[in-house]
Amino acid sequence: MDQKKIGSFLKELRKEKGLTQEQLAELMYVSDRTVSRWETGSNLPSLDILIRISDYYNVELSEILDGERKSGKMNKELEETVLKVADYSNDEKMKMMKKLHIFSWIGVVSFLIYLALDVTGLAGQGITEAIASFCSGLSLGMLITAVLYTSNSIYKIKAFKKRLLGKK
């Protein structure tokens, strides 16, 4: 795939519709800077956005990925497969975001408990000291987990774990 060619084609399609980068960005729910990066070839849209772009411009997905118009039509079965893959990708993103949301709230609540114990001076006495330490550690752990999820490092860790365990 030639990203620069794809970017030029996306720019050509946008200009054919008479849109500015800002207008296209609003339609695709991204920033105008993101559209600029697509058109220069430094980044490519995600699969779900590529499908929305192909629908909006009324071109086949294969034409966008090739960076030029084709005279033939994309196989309907292949198009359905691509749509299923995009739906699966979106479902996976939603699952990950739900987990991230839960982890974040656990971190916030545990930090608030720690903060309440610390402010009231109970964090250094008996069992409440252990609770405060646990909440402090839990909130830090949830923060680290959120960073791993948002940086996609969690997938590298999962792959490493599978290699260690010898799973496919």
Q: How far apart are CA 108 and CA 104, in angstroms?
A: 6
- pLDDT tens digits for the chain (168 residues)? 788 999 999 999 999 999 999 999 999 989 989 999 999 989 889 888 988 999 999 888 888 888 888 755 556 667 777 778 877 778 888 888 898 899 999 999 999 999 999 999 888 888 999 999 999 999 999 999 888 888 878 778 887 888 888 865
pLDDT of residue 74: 54
- Is residue 84 one of the residues assigned to a domain? no
Residue 76, in any domain of the structure? no
Residue whose structure tokens are 């982890």: 103
What is the structure's pLDDT at 75? 62
- pTM (whole model) above 0.75: no
Residue 61 host element (H or E): helix 61-66
Domain count of the fold of the chain: 2
Given this model, what pLDDT does residue 106 score? 95
Same domain, 100 and 153: yes
- CATH number of the domain enclosing 48: 1.10.260.40
Whether 82 maps to a domain, the answer reads no
Dig out the tokens for 107 from the structure: 């971190």
Which residues span the domain enclosing 141?
92-165
For tokens 């996609």, what's the residue?
A: 152
| Residue 71: per-residue pLDDT | 59
